[in-house]
Amino acid sequence: MPLNLAPNLSDADDVYADLLAAHEGLSKEQSDALNARLVLILANHIGDRSVLRDALDAARDPGNADV
């Protein structure tokens, strides 16, 4: 399955709020650690290196339409 960059969250505002809530009260260092753990957990869940590579490209260069 290719990387999905179309809207895919029916409750986008809630998801965004969950993200912020998870970081509430954390120091910068704790937040960075949380983000790293989150990336690893999601990467494992996706479980497809080519999708992850596309996601990394899209994250590194959001303006590149070739992704």
Partner 1 sequence: MNKIFETPLYPYTHHPDQDATPPARRKVVIVGAGPVGLATAIDLARKGVEAVVVDENDKVSFGSRAICFAKRPLEILDRLGCGQPMVDKGVQWNVGKVFFDERKVFEFNLLPEEGHRRPAFINLQQYYFEEFLVERARELEAEGTPIELRGGNKVMEVTQHDDHVTLRIDTPDGPYNLEADWLIACDGAASPLRAMMGLDFVGRVFEDNFLIADVVMEADFPTERWFWFDPPFNRGQSALLHKQPDGVWRIDLQLGWDIDKEEEKKPENVIPRLKEMLGDEVEFELEWVSIYTFQCRRMERFRHGRVIFAGDSAHQVSPFGARGANSGIQDADNLGWKLRLVIEGIAPEALLDSYDTERVQAADENILNSSRSTDFITPKSEISRVFRDAVLDLAEHHDFARPLVNSGRLSVPCVHDGSPLSGADSLPDGPARTRPGAPCPDAPLGDGFLLDHLGDRFVLLTLGAVAPDALSESGVVARRVALDPDAGALAALRDRYLGDAPAAVYLIRPDQHVAARWPAYDEAETRAAIRRAIGLE
Residues contacting residue 64 through CB under 8 Å, at least 6 positions apart: 57, 58
| CB distance 43 to 52 below 8 Å | yes
Q: How many residues bind partner 1 (CB under 8 A)?
A: 8
CB 21 → partner 1: shortest distance, Å? 20
Q: Is 37 in the site for partner 1 (CB under 8 A)?
A: yes
Q: Which is nearer to partner 1, 12 or 46 (CB)?
A: 46
What separation in angstroms does the CA of 62 have from each of 9, 29, 44, 59?
Answer: 19, 25, 23, 6
Q: Is 40 in the site for partner 1 (CB under 8 A)?
A: yes
Residues forming the site for partner 1 (CB under 8 A): 32-33, 36-37, 39-41, 44
